[in-house]
Chain A
Amino acid sequence: MALAPNPPICLTDLRTEFGDANGGNVCLTEYYAGGANVAAGTSGTNGAVPSSGTVCLTDFLGTSNVIPVVSNTQNYTGNVAASFADNLSYTGSQGMIIVDYQYVMRTSISGSNYVATLYVEETSNGNGVYNSAGMSTGTLYPVQTVTFTQGNWPDGYALDHSVTYSSSSGGAYQENTSLLAGTGETYSSGSNWDNTTFTLLNPTTNTAFKVRQQVTGECWTGVAEFIDTISLKFNKSGYPNLTAATFNVQTEMTFGFSGPCF
């Protein structure tokens, strides 16, 4: 919650809003922007909080430790935002499964507010499940909805990706995760979009981000699983970055080899 835009203001207000990383007595110089407690670039009613030199309590009027949101809602139930699966029975030594899916960031208007909603989308392969029901290819399923006032609309956002790969090992198989240019929406992410900061465009626009999971196996019978972890982050001048959500998407591939292994 932002500090009041007008006096009075006291040191304990700063400690409540920004914390006290070093403990002990609260000292105003512990609250320089870019210091232990206050993010670089933080600003309020009277402009930017100084990063050195003279600092006054009134420099903190109207400042906040987070980008203010109207609401931040998780839209899915369960442990994963969505799951995808495919299986392959193969002969002739080599087999390959590719599963693609997309995230779509949509900006929209709700009353006087702006809304950023991240969706997951099944594309041409991989049977998707969302909230325990099958997905339809091309339909957008909401993962996280973040609503801002127009004045607090962030400057940008990023999807911060990592992957956990697990398998029933014991074979010749190789996994690969690619972050590709999304397709079919107003804008595309371009490739290798991990943690790239995109401009959060005013409503209404859609931007697509594609994930490709691929496993190649040779005479391999087993199960491979990818867990993509995504953090949805926003930035806005004068505020620390906001991590609105972190969620997982699962992809499972089952290989069944039969016949001679040449």
Chain B
Amino acid sequence: MDINAPTSKNTMEKINNKKITIAFGPGEWIENRTDGIIQSIDVIIKGWINNDVPLVERNMHGGGKINHIEWGQSGSVEESFNWSVPEELQTSATWHAHVHPHDEDNDSEYKLYSLQWIDLIKNTNEYITAYNTVKANLEAL
């Protein structure tokens, strides 16, 4: 059994004080479509500190509860940019928004593409700049 390390009563001032939450996915972004085919996404990066993040309690299908970010709410800080969806990653599939019953074929196709979009978006200079701006502005609050 591990022995607890000895501690001191001499406290040091805490300098990392904020919990930051940032969200940017399908619940926040705007998909621009032509004839139902996605062409580009207005990526909106939203951020909150500490307990400001809007949460909603949901009963899970298998029992228990979950507190998740309530999508579509305003961020305490926001940054946005437009990202063009590469031609080979364009689809007519849409986000299910948790409306039941789910269209499994649609969901499966949307998953396939959206994970690739997210990966590409996170590696753009626009995302990195916007993310860092949101984080810096939240830290300054």
Main secondary structure of the interface of A (DSSP, over half): strand
**Cβ-defined contact, A93 with B61, below 8 A:** yes
**Cβ-defined contact, B26 with A208, below 8 A:** no
Q: Is B115 an interface residue (CB 8 A)?
A: yes
**Cβ-defined contact, A170 with B71, below 8 A:** yes
Measured in the bound complex, the distance between the Cα atoms of B112 and A162 in whole Å is 33
Within 8 Å CB of B122, what residues of A?
223
Interface string of A162-177 (1 = CB under 8 A from B): 1111111111111000
Interface hit among A13-21, A70-78, A116-124, A180-188:
A180-188
Measured in the bound complex, the distance between the Cα atoms of B19 and A162 in whole Å is 6
Measured in the bound complex, the distance between the Cα atoms of B122 and A167 in whole Å is 11
Within 8 Å CB of A162, what residues of B?
16-20
Q: Is A64 an interface residue (CB 8 A)?
A: no
Interface string of B66-79 (1 = CB under 8 A from A): 11110100000000
**Cβ-defined contact, A207 with B23, below 8 A:** no
Interface string of A52-81 (1 = CB under 8 A from B): 000000000000000000000000000000
Within 8 Å CB of A168, what residues of B?
23-26, 114, 118
Interface hit among A24-32, A43-51, A127-135, A254-262:
A254-262
Measured in the bound complex, the distance between the Cα atoms of B120 and A246 in whole Å is 29
**Cβ-defined contact, B5 with A189, below 8 A:** yes
Write the nearest CB–CB distance from B44 to chain A, whole angstroms: 10
Write the nearest CB–CB distance from A80 to chain B, whole angstroms: 14
Within 8 Å CB of B22, what residues of A?
164-167
**Known interface pairs A223-B118, A254-B115; A187-B3 also in contact (CB < 8 Å):** yes
Within 8 Å CB of B25, what residues of A?
167-171, 222
Within 8 Å CB of B100, what residues of A?
261
Write the nearest CB–CB distance from B125 to chain A, whole angstroms: 15
Partner of A262, one of B61, B66, B110: B61
**Known interface pairs A174-B66, A174-B68, A258-B107; A160-B2 also in contact (CB < 8 Å):** no
**Cβ-defined contact, B16 with A199, below 8 A:** no
Partner of A171, one of B14, B67, B68: B68
Partner of B2, one of A164, A172, A181: A181
Quick one: closest B residue to A162, CB to CB? B16
**Cβ-defined contact, B20 with A172, below 8 A:** no
Interface string of A219-236 (1 = CB under 8 A from B): 101110000011101010
Q: Apart from A199-B8, A219-B61, what 11 extra A-B contacts exist at CB < 8 Å?
A: A156-B8, A165-B20, A166-B21, A183-B2, A185-B2, A194-B14, A197-B8, A219-B96, A261-B98, A261-B102, A261-B107
The interface of chain A, by Cβ under 8 A from chain B, is 92-94, 155-156, 158, 160-174, 181-190, 194-199, 201, 207-208, 216, 218-219, 221-223, 229-231, 233, 235, 241, 243, 246, 254, 256-262
Task: Give 17 CB contacts A-B under 8 Å.
Answer: A94-B60, A94-B62, A160-B14, A167-B69, A170-B25, A182-B2, A197-B8, A197-B9, A198-B7, A199-B5, A199-B6, A218-B61, A221-B114, A222-B25, A222-B118, A246-B16, A261-B96
Which 7 pairs across A and B sit closest by C-beta, in order of nearness?
A170-B27, A168-B25, A162-B16, A169-B23, A188-B2, A170-B26, A187-B5
